[in-house]
Amino acid sequence: MGILTKVLATLVALEFFYIFYLETLATTSEKTSKVFGMDKEELERKSVNTLFKNQGAYNGLIGVLILLAVYAVGSKMAVICLMIYIILVALYGSFTSSPKILLTQGGLAILTLLSCLL
């Protein structure tokens, strides 16, 4: 696996750790409100807060899996599979939530996938 792929994959992992932070640790912050386009009052609702924290745990785990694939296992195929998964989820989000999700959540993953395949 090339250095560019490792750097890009690490950036994707950091992006998912940032999403984890917003959704799990800073759930009701101004930044989370701005990033997700939701009022702070909505984020403070118990049901929404719980959903965000659960989603944040999922995103944190994706970050961990990427780092494991790159550094512990050194598996290019695992990185490819994770990037395809992330791109598919971003594509789904672009249809169901906002078109910009494809590039904001999937952009680095697309670049990482391309670096794996070239």
Tokens 């395949």 correspond to what residue? 117
Residue 24 CA to residue 46 CA, distance in Å, equals 13
Q: What is the pLDDT of residues 64-79, one digit of tens each?
A: 999 999 999 999 999 9
Q: What is the pLDDT of residues 5-49, one digit of tens each?
A: 999 999 999 999 999 999 999 999 999 999 988 998 999 999 999
User: Would you kindly state where each structural domain of the chain is located, as residue ranges?
Assistant: 3-117
What global pTM score does this model have?
0.91
What pLDDT does 33 receive? 93
What pLDDT does 1 receive? 85
Q: How many CB atoms lie within 10 A of CB 110?
A: 17
Query: Is residue 4 predicted with pLDDT exceeding 90?
Result: yes
- Confidence bin at 114 (pLDDT 50/70/90): very high
3-state secondary structure of 39: coil
Residues 6+ apart with CB under 8 A from 116: 1, 5, 76, 79, 80, 83
- Do 80 and 117 form a contact (C-beta atoms < 8 A)? yes
